């Protein structure tokens, strides 16, 4: 089943991811980071499936989390709680370890959110939103979004072609493999530059970016979009009020100060809950859509059965 949240207007999709990414990048409170990370993983599972999402998180995100968390204490020695000293005399502090873990979680959840963004916000949606405002930049950005999957597909084609003539990176000794790899890379760079030039010339020939140019679009901002936008604005305003009350304040150096956890006040709990609701909007939309679709599948056979009985009775 298609993701239901992606069927909303591009303004709704872009507004949601913009708010989520801004909060995820600039708020390092443990509760905010935890909620954002869990929500990002859940939405990635909804979009990509359990196997692909868990494979990506375990193979790439988990090692990155460990590496970033270990690197920070080696270079950042701020903090008053000294655990031990290195051979060069630099201290390893509890605050630097915790801050490294926080930074690694922040990096990982931003990457996961961007992976979801790339699936929902297609190049067509981005050009629709910013094609008239910043035509050149929107075209470049849409090309960048398409570049990675197209690059991977073309790399596979070129690698298979080179393999057929015995020039793949698996053929020959180490020196020959390196030479074959450089050749494949050179072919890929040439293809990428040529593809970018062709795309730019094609868009220019179609009048892209000219003043007064109109564009066909299927997107309409209907009542459903207005309702969703209103809900998002209300949740965001309530969250901002909670932030202004200091419920998301946190400090890691030189001592750790975290507001709103121990003890957790009603206002801080409500702030975290509002942020959780905002993060889970796409998952909730997909869940309600799946339930509605399942209910329709159950009703349709019953109506078909009743129609068959009615036709049989009339035939008698």
pLDDT in tens, 108-144: 888 889 888 888 887 778 777 776 666 666 666 666 6
pLDDT, position 12: 94
Q: Which residue has the higher pLDDT, 163 or 249?
A: 249
Long-range contacts, 230-239 (Cβ 8 Å, 24+) = 231/281, 232/12, 232/15, 232/16, 232/19, 232/278, 232/281, 235/274, 235/277, 235/278, 236/19, 236/278, 238/270, 238/271, 238/274, 239/23, 239/271, 239/274, 239/275, 239/278
- The secondary element (H helix, E strand) that includes residue 85 is strand 82-85
pLDDT for the residue numbered 232: 95
User: Average pLDDT in the 15-38 region?
Assistant: 92
Summarize the confidence of residues 253-278 as an average pLDDT: 87
Tell me, what's the pLDDT at 242? Answer: 92
pTM for the full model?
0.73
CB 147 within 8 A of CB 139: no
**Helices in the chain by DSSP H: which ranges?**
10-26, 30-48, 50-56, 62-75, 94-120, 123-130, 135-164, 174-205, 223-244, 266-279, 281-315
pLDDT of 183 higher than 70: yes
- Per-residue pLDDT band for 36 (boundaries 50, 70, 90) equals very high
pLDDT attached to residue 141? 65
Amino acid 210: pLDDT:
67
User: Which range is least confidently modeled, 123-127, 212-216, 258-262?
Assistant: 212-216
Residue 248: count of CB within 10 angstroms of its CB: 23
Cα dihedral sign for 262, 267, 269, 274? Answer: negative
Residue 32 binned pLDDT confidence (cut-offs 50, 70, 90): very high
> Could you read off the pLDDT of 66-122 as tens digits, one per residue?
887 788 787 777 777 888 887 777 888 888 888 888 888 888 888 889 888 888 887
Mean pLDDT along residues 10-16 = 93
> By percentage, how much of the chain surpasses pLDDT 90?
21
Q: Between 213 and 1, whose confidence is greater?
A: 213
């Amino acid at each position: 089943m298609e993701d239901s949240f992606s069927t909303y207007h591009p303004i709704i999709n872009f507004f949601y991811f913009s708010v989520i990414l801004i909060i995820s990048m600039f708020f390092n409170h443990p509760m905010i980071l935890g909620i954002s990370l869990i929500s990002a993983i859940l939405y990635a599972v909804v979009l990509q499936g359990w196997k692909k999402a868990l494979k990506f998180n375990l193979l790439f995100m988990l090692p990155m989390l460990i590496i970033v968390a270990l690197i920070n204490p080696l270079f950042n020695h701020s903090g008053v709680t000294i655990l031990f000293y290195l051979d060069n005399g630099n201290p390893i502090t509890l605050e630097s370890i915790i801050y490294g873990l926080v930074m690694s979680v922040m990096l990982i959840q931003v990457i996961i959110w961007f992976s979801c963004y790339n699936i929902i916000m297609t190049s067509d949606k981005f050009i629709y939103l910013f094609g008239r405002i910043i035509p050149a930049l929107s075209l470049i950005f849409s090309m960048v979004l398409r570049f990675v999957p197209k690059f991977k597909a073309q790399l596979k084609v070129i690698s298979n072609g080179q393999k057929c003539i015995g020039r793949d990176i698996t053929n020959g000794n180490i020196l020959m493999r390196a030479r074959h790899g450089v050749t494949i890379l050179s072919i890929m760079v040439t293809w990428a530059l040529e593809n970018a030039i062709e795309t730019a010339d094609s868009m220019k020939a179609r009048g892209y970016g000219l003043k007064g140019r109109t564009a066909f679009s299927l997107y309409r901002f209907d009542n459903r979009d207005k309702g969703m936008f209103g809900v998002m604005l209300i949740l965001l305003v309530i969250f901002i009020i909670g932030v202004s009350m200091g419920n998301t304040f946190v400090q890691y150096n030189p001592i750790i100060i975290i507001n709103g956890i121990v003890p957790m006040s009603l206002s801080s709990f409500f702030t975290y809950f509002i942020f959780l609701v905002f993060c889970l909007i796409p998952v909730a939309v997909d869940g309600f859509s799946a339930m509605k679709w399942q209910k329709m599948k159950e009703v349709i056979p019953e109506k078909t059965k009743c129609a068959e009985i009615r036709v049989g009775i009339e035939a008698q």
